[in-house]
Structure 1
Amino acid sequence: MGPLAGKRIIEIAGIGPGPFAAMLLSDLGAEVIRVERTGAVRGPTPDKPAGDVSLRGRRNVAIDLKHPGGLATLLDLVESADGLIEGFRPGVMERLGAGPDVCLERNPKLVFGRMTGWGQDGPYAHAAGHDINYISLAGALAHFGRAGEAPVPPLNMVGDFGGGGMFLALGVVAALLEAQTSGQGQVVDTAMVDGTAVLMTMFWSMKAAGIFDEQNPGTNLLDTGAHFYDVYECSDGRYISIGSIEPQFYAELMRLTGLEGDDQFARQMDATQWPELKVRIAELFKTKTCDEWCELMEMTDVCFAPVLTMSEAAQHPHNVERQTFIELGGTVQPAPAPRFSRTAAEVTQLPAHPGEHTRDVLADWGVDAERVGQLLESGAVRHAE
């Protein structure tokens, strides 16, 4: 069982970073139940699991939070919970009657985790937005891209998942630890703008040191400006990645590419040479296939790896040996991380459909059978047959 075994978390259904945080907490052993809208229950439960991998690891209960009986049921569940996470705009949970003040009154030790893009306050707090907007305002997106080109959104990994879901999970775990000592819960205000800003910490340090030019993206050490830290196309159209920053790694790159002794390449940190050196080394990498470069450079100190698609990554020998990817319910997906020597993280439940476990969850969390029947009859909760 994972290190969070014994902790009970309520997830109010949402999209993106909230479900991702709930998945992480579940992977690490917490019992997480996902509270879905009753309107999401559509007929009998299909034979196969839900398609969204981020829903793995928790049971699903359908509750109408706008129904008095549904709200009362949620607050009853709160009394047995260690934490609750939600991803609505500021004020929505309060309007439903399940804001942090109400929940903490019912359970003073509750950790109330909130996930938004802009945060619970500030001029943008009530505006709509998506990952691309949050990482823009946080000062991150401007620095993803090559020289002379427009910024390139890095999927939605930086805002939604790195700056959002990861920080929500971390905040909830930290608050759970503190509650064990103080006996008091608290609200965790997680904003993707805040988390993304924290992810940029090293670059703020580099800027302060005068070694990161924020006005000229794509010209710096780590943003594809340097010839020794970039992605290069091979003769077969595939790509390889090079990260030979340190002198000893750069020396190995020079040796294996046959550039050892070249006076121009010897001036590794002369940024004025980087544009020309990038052209030269790009031409060199196009002389061999990706497999040929792998045969020459894999598992050396060049700091090298082939650029793999998701499907290719799942089949790479290193990832296969470490079981970095697993197959559950017929779907290949990342395995839980990180790894623990004693309390192994694991996936305990295939992705559930809305309302699939309503009866079982309510019973397991202390709602007697007669009341469950009344709730089902009134429409306050719904079970997918």
Structure 2
Amino acid sequence: MNPTTDAPPAAVPAASAAPSPRAEASAQRTGPLRGIRVVEFGGIGPAPFATMLLADLGAEVVRIDRPGPGGAPVVDPADTVLRGRTIVAADLKDAEAAERVRRLVDRADVLVEGFRPGVMERLGLGPDDLLARNPRLVYGRMTGWGQHGPWADRVGHDLNYLSITGMLHAIGPAEAPAVPLNLVADYGGGAMFLVTGILAALVERAVSGQGQVVDAAMVDGVGQLSHVFRAMLAAGTWSDRRAQNLIDGGAPYYSVYGCADGAHVAVGALEPAFYAALIAGLGDDLEPGVAALDRDDRATWPALRAGLESAFACRTRDEWATHFDGTDACVTPVLTMTEAEGHPHLVARGVFGEWGGRSAPAPAPRLDRTPAVEPVFPPQVAADVGALIDAWDAAQEGPNR
């Protein structure tokens, strides 16, 4: 849909599973968000990840970035999160450039920004200004602390948002909280809730004809993600101490164990039937008496953990993976990211692919009638905002047209 480049899309690896008849009936991979236009203001973290998801689902995403040397946007050739975009440079502090961006937003369905509160307002690009010009606009805001509150203006990262919501305290061994990857606050509590809010606002707009502001805060999202644990805490079935619970590493049958080669396996034998399969599979590698321990008696957990540690240390990770393959013991190898790309199940589903010479996760979730579009990477680069305005004016499709 971008007339400024002739770069063809990179190929998507074919899925091994046969498509459904409904999927075959689809003439092309258009995605369910075909016709939705998104203007993203360049940033890092959860906001660009959210717009990548929208692009995967068929939205046309234009990213506004600050000019680099020579006036063109600087595109990181390794950042596959930028797939599916058209990127254009604009100096938002320049009055004429900012007005061209406003004109582009006049033609958009969704705006996404991840700046600290007040930044967009100072640029004359806040929701009051832009919704007055385009009342159908869904204005998505992504921050860590939210648009209001005593900490709204503070800086922070995933670890900080986790820390004040109580969830960092709950993650890790008994000795100290662990530093998790930025999966929880940035992407789970941030990007996913931003996308949910945007999609909900688009559905509501179909009824009311009006856009609205989506205030997505990572602390809000992490709070939602912690719901089940807080419910158990209130019910007295969860301890506020780390490594004391069923699914926080406290239970020896839901944990990670080292193997003879220094690699690890994950054990998730929570249900009695799965635990029975685990014990049966360990067989003679278990020391005498371990199999007879009452797993429901927490007083036995230290002895049971020691027995499992000793048993798993008898073989390598891959030997255990082969040994337990096809059983209900819930024992799986802990793979590196590189190894994961070659796992037979992930290969069969096409979980990872290659676009523009870069390995990356494939779009998800999967829709049978309007499947995700083929990711384009590297992203396309537009000549200027004016060219995009002309292209959008010339197009006929889309909810605003």
The Cα of 1:138 is off from its aligned counterpart by 1.4
Q: 1:311 aligns with which of 333, 338, 343?
A: 338
Aligned to 1:277: 304
Aligned equivalent of 1:34, options 63, 82, 93: 63
Question: Is the contact between residue 37 and residue 64 of structure 1 (CA under 8 Å) also seen in structure 2?
Answer: yes
Residues 218 and 225, structure 1, Cα contact 8 Å, conserved in 2: yes
- Shift of the alpha carbon at 1:357? 6.6
Candidates 230, 237, 257, aligned match of 1:232: 257
Counterpart of 2:237 in structure 1 is 211
Deviations 1:35-69 (A, max 9, x none): 1112x3557789x9722111111110111111111
SS at match of 1:222: coil
Q: Is 2:115 aligned against 1:115?
A: no
Alignment of 1:125-274 (within 5 A): 125-147=152-174, 149-214=175-240, 216-258=241-283, 262=289, 265-274=292-301
In the TM superposition, residue 261 of structure 1 has moved relative to its aligned partner by 9.6
2:118 aligned to 81, 85, 91, which one? 91
Aligned equivalent of 1:61, options 79, 82, 88: 88
1:45–1:356 contact (8 Å) kept in structure 2: no
Distance 1:261 1:207, change over 3 A: farther
More divergent stretch after superposition (235-244 vs 273-282): 273-282
In the TM superposition, what whole-angstrom CA distance separates every residue of 1:181-218 from its partner, at most 9, and x where no partner exists?
Answer: 1111110000011101111111011112211111x201
Other-structure match for 1:76: 103
State the SS of the aligned residue for 1:164: helix
Residue 15 (1) aligns with residue 44 (2): yes
Q: 1:137 to 1:203 in 2, by over 3 A?
A: same
Alpha-carbon distance, 1:348 to partner: 3.5
Q: 2:293 touches 2:304 (CA, 8 Å); kept in 1?
A: no
One-letter amino acid of the structure 2 residue matched with residue 291 of structure 1: D
Helix, strand or coil: the match of 2:393? coil
* Contact 2:201–2:212 (CA under 8 A) maintained in structure 1: yes
Q: Deviations over 1:90-126 (max 9, x none)?
A: 0110000010001100111110000000000111000
* 1:363 to partner: Cα distance: 2.9
- Aligned to 2:198, the other structure's residue is in SS state helix
Query: How many angstroms apart in 2 are the aligned matches of 1:282 and 1:154?
Result: 23
Identity across aligned pairs (percent)? 50
For structure 2, the residue ranges without an aligned partner over 5 or more in a row are 1-29, 395-401
C-alpha separation between the residues in 1 aligned to 2:386 and 2:376? 17
* Residue range with higher mean Cα deviation, 352-361 or 227-236: 352-361
In the alignment, is the contact (CA less than 8 A) between 1:26 and 1:347 conserved in 2? no
Q: Which amino acid aligns with 2:195?
A: A
| Counterpart secondary structure, 2:341 | helix
Tell me what 2:32 maps to.
Answer: 3
Asked whether the equivalents of residues 49 and 329 of structure 1 are also in contact (C-alpha less than 8 Å), the reply is: no
Instruction: Render the CA deviation track for 1:65-103: whole Å, top value 9, x for unaligned.
Output: 111111111111111111101000001100000100011
Alpha-carbon distance between aligned partners in 2 of 1:123 and 1:276, rounded to the nearest angstrom: 48
Aligned partners of 2:295 and 2:304 also within 8 Å: no
- What one-letter code is carried by the residue in structure 1 that aligns with 2:116? R
Separation of aligned partners in 2, 1:314 and 1:338? 18
Distance 1:159 1:42 in 2: 36
Label 1:353 to 1:134 Cα distance change in 2 as closer, same or farther (>3 A): farther
Shift of the alpha carbon at 1:166?
A: 1.0
Q: Shift in Å at residue 352 of structure 1?
A: 2.7
Quote the offset at 1:283 in angstroms. Answer: 0.9
Q: Which amino acid aligns with 2:391?
A: D
Question: Which letter maps to 2:42?
Answer: A
Whole-angstrom distance in 2 between the partners of 1:87 and 1:19 = 9
How far 1:127 sits from its partner (Å)?
A: 0.8
Match of 2:366 in 1: 339
Given that residues 49 and 350 in structure 1 are in contact (C-alpha distance below 8 angstroms), is that contact kept between their aligned partners in structure 2? no
Q: Structure 1 residues 279 and 263 mapped into 2: Cα distance closer, same or farther (>3 Å)?
A: closer
Distance in 2, matches of 1:24 and 1:41, equals 29
Structure 1 segments (4+ residues) deviating >3 Å: 41-46, 259-266, 353-360
Q: CA–CA distance in 2 between the matches of 1:72 and 1:280?
A: 68
Residue-pair matches, total:
363
Give me the whole-angstrom Cα distance separating, in 1, the residues matched to 2:88 and 2:73. 13
SS class of match (1:33)? strand
Distance 1:124 1:110 in 2: 28
* Residue identity opposite 1:31 in structure 2: E
State the distance in 1 between where 2:200 and 2:300 align.
47
The AA in structure 1 aligned to 2:200 is: A
CA–CA distance in 1 between the matches of 2:292 and 2:104? Answer: 65
